[in-house]
Amino acid sequence: MFRRLCAAVLVAVLTAFPATAAITIIPEKAAVMAATKADIPAAEELILHLELVTGCKVPLLTAGQVADGAFIFAVGTVPADAAPAVIGEAVWSVTPQKAYFYGDGAKGARNAVYDFLEDELGVRWLNRDGDIAYRSQNPLIINASSGRWQAAFRHFGIRGGKIWNIRQRMGAYNDPPKYGHAFTKLWQQYGATNPEFFALTRLGVRAPVAKPGQDPNDIAAFTGKAAEAIKICVSSTALYDHIIAQWQKTSKSRYVNICENDGNDGFCTCPGCTALDVNSELPADNVFSRHYTDRYMHMANEIAKAAVAIRPDARVATYAYNEYETPPRRVKLLPAVTIGIVPTVFDVESSLQLLQGWKQAGMTEFFWRPNQHYYFDGARMPFGLEKHFFELFQAIQVHQPTGFDYDAPGSNIYSEFSYYVLAKAMQEPDKPFEHWEQHFLQAYGAAAPAVGAYYRHWRGLWDAKFGPQLKDILVKGKVFNFARGVMWNLKDFYTEADFDATDAHLVEAAAQDLQPRERALVDKLRLANAHSRQIFLAVARPSDDNSLALLKFRREHGLEEFPHHEQYWGDITGVRRVEQFKEFTPPYLRTPLFWSFRLDPKDEGQAQQWFKTAPADFRKWDKMPTNSNWENPGRHYSYPSPETRALTANYDGIAWYATTVTVPTDWQNRDVLLYFGAVDESCWIYVNDKPAGEHLFRNRDDWTTPFTIPINDVIDWSKPEQTIIVRVEDKAGAGGIWKPVWLVSKAR
């Protein structure tokens, strides 16, 4: 209905404004006027962009201030003969004396300004960094006499872009569903008075989930995030009554929002809730450990019945998310339930399957709320994913969702293209990818063909590798983390030839006759591509030199040295390692993870000279990892033995570690040191049977502080291997060599 109305209005508008000859506007003889106070922001946007394009600042004037004969840009003024605006509509029209920008309220007028700036002045809002592209001209030559746009969805957006989002016309247009985690304040407000509202957790209380060591019964202690992640008792009819009463009392929306809070823990275990489940212990094909959809949809139906009884057009909005992402197995949805689908699948086939499943369960209305987009763009690597996400959007939008809400976007120069195309697709879903690709590339002026070829190269990589292996990559990356799945297997996806080829496109782009801002955009892309190559080399061909080169590159170009997002991969680029060892000369050699290990509960090793144990003998000892204290060696490790684990689980006292290392022969003229990440608490180090040094627990932080032991005096250069034996004493709490030991050197 909404769309048909839109088509009818379009015909009317086209008839009202027949095409005419070009109109010339002299900006020096023009003024901008705002019809109401609400139109001033749009008027200011117009002034800002007119100044970029013409170099002339057109003043914002009131009626009495405008000189006779001035050309007027009238923001918010509806021409006398115009048809009334419909919902979400934006219209602009230009006559020889006046340009009009108007539509559905101030938002309509503002969108009319944006439509005019893009279509007539070639303005492009490229990215959330604020890059603006445009064609310089003065005077202004306006070819079309009018333009019109109307929102195709009731709401749409990509979160987090502020002014860019406004310029891309995002927002709510018509009766948007009310949704979002609905019960974040419920505990704070009713925790003390209405325990029946809340989930009976696996810990046996109706309260947020206690952290280890926290008393689950001390319900007053739950505040902040723990309280905001509390789950509801989904079968609590008292809660249903409360939700309906609150909706009647406080909400202007016809939607009742019952989206459960965030978090994967604390779901209700009460008999009433579990009776609503269908095989909850058999989740669908994803990482969530339970399937709770049926209980949540039962609740949605119950609330829908109550709400519709009060108001016939009432609807209930609830998420399909994580433990309740996949469709219910028994419950059929009532028509008044709206589902906000939060997919963890990102290929077209699985997404449509998910949608289809919900439709089969009776879903009549939905919105698409993809999460975790930073998993796709959180790496500074070109994935060429813009067309894929466009096609995914198209596959969903033909099913007529109320709207789209893309959450958790990351940010880098490559993904900005993807978000640009998505933003445009949401504005005008009828246009093909290639249309928006050209729209975006126009910002590069004469370099557009070369930059287009650049992006096409990376899209080829998506088509050949990332796309076909998408599901597999999401599994490899764990919890659907695409970027991590790629980064952990980087050499399977990229070759250096990819960077050679793409650099060549950018060299060609830079060789064109460009305006300064176009050149700046090309330079930005060249920097990004060069950075990606450095990341590729550091990860795919790991060496201290490649990690140092990456760190140096970042420093030289003012890039983040240790980007926040890289923490999710481990230090695979090695930049943290080389920073840690910056005072030494590469390479930095890590000693074995597992060292021979022997407990010395009677403290007799010293008297018996265990520090002289030969490698052939200490290799018969048990083994212990040197990246955790001896109380908690990794459960998945084959060492130590179950017997040793039992003995060290709460062990305070003496233990011995032993290993061998090979010192490179070309280090003979260097200072050679053992670098201990941390030993808890005191230790005495022996090399080749001789004491080399000690690190005693004297200050409060000594158990966690790195230290070095020079070993030149005890190295036997005639031997291929040097023997390292460490006596560790732990008097309380955790103990042992719990951060790796390295062999490092300094050129003299």
Q: Give me the residues that bind Zn ion (CB under 5 A), please.
A: 233, 235, 268, 270, 273
Name the token pair of 260: 């459960």
Q: Is the Cβ of residue 154 or residue 231 nearer to Zn ion in the bound state? A: 231
Minimum Å gap between C-beta 529 and Zn ion is 54
Q: Is the Cβ of residue 94 or residue 233 nearer to Zn ion in the bound state? A: 233
Q: Is the Cβ of residue 210 or residue 273 nearer to Zn ion in the bound state? A: 273
Minimum Å gap between C-beta 339 and Zn ion is 22
Q: Give the Cα-Cα-Cα angle 243, 247, 252 (nearest 5 degrees).
A: 160
Minimum Å gap between C-beta 193 and Zn ion is 18
Minimum Å gap between C-beta 223 and Zn ion is 23
Q: What does the DSSP 8-state code read for residue 601? A: T
Q: What does the DSSP 8-state code read for residue 200? A: B
Q: Is the Cβ of residue 54 or residue 235 nearer to Zn ion in the bound state? A: 235
Minimum Å gap between C-beta 34 and Zn ion is 55
Q: Are 658 and 721 in contact (CB under 8 A)?
A: no
Minimum Å gap between C-beta 318 and Zn ion is 16
**Strands, DSSP E only, in 65-222?**
71-75, 89-94, 98-103, 124-125, 132-133, 140-142, 146-150, 155-158, 171-172
Q: Are 199 and 233 in contact (CB under 8 A)?
A: yes
Cα–Cα distance, 518 to 524 (Å, whole number): 10
Cα–Cα distance, 31 to 35 (Å, whole number): 13
Minimum Å gap between C-beta 236 and Zn ion is 6
Cα 14 to its chain centre, rounded Å, is 42
| Residues in Cβ contact with 235 at an 8 Å cutoff, skipping those fewer than 6 apart | 268, 270, 272, 273, 275, 276, 295, 298, 299
Cα–Cα distance, 226 to 206 (Å, whole number): 13
Q: Is the Cβ of residue 125 or residue 292 nearer to Zn ion in the bound state? A: 292
Q: Is the Cβ of residue 270 or residue 504 nearer to Zn ion in the bound state? A: 270
Q: Is the Cβ of residue 274 or residue 627 nearer to Zn ion in the bound state? A: 274
Q: Is the Cβ of residue 159 or residue 330 nearer to Zn ion in the bound state? A: 330
Minimum Å gap between C-beta 331 and Zn ion is 16
Taking CA atoms, 74 is separated from 40, 656, 675, 732, in Å, by 11, 83, 71, 77
Q: Is the Cβ of residue 294 or residue 566 nearer to Zn ion in the bound state? A: 294
User: Which among 218, 197, 176 is positioned nearest to 88, based on CA atoms?
Assistant: 176
> At 341, is the secondary structure helix, strand, or coil?
strand
Minimum Å gap between C-beta 186 and Zn ion is 14
Q: Please report, as a single letter, which amino acid is at residue 563.
A: P
Name the token pair of 380: 């500074």
Minimum Å gap between C-beta 330 and Zn ion is 17
Q: Is the Cβ of residue 143 or residue 279 nearer to Zn ion in the bound state? A: 279
How far is the first Cα of the chain from the last one, in angstroms, to the nearest whole number? 80
Q: Is the peptide bond before 587 cis (omega within 30 degrees of 0)?
A: yes
* CB burial readout 409-424, b (16+ within 10 A) else e: bbbbbbbbbbbbbbbb
Q: What does the DSSP 8-state code read for residue 466? A: I
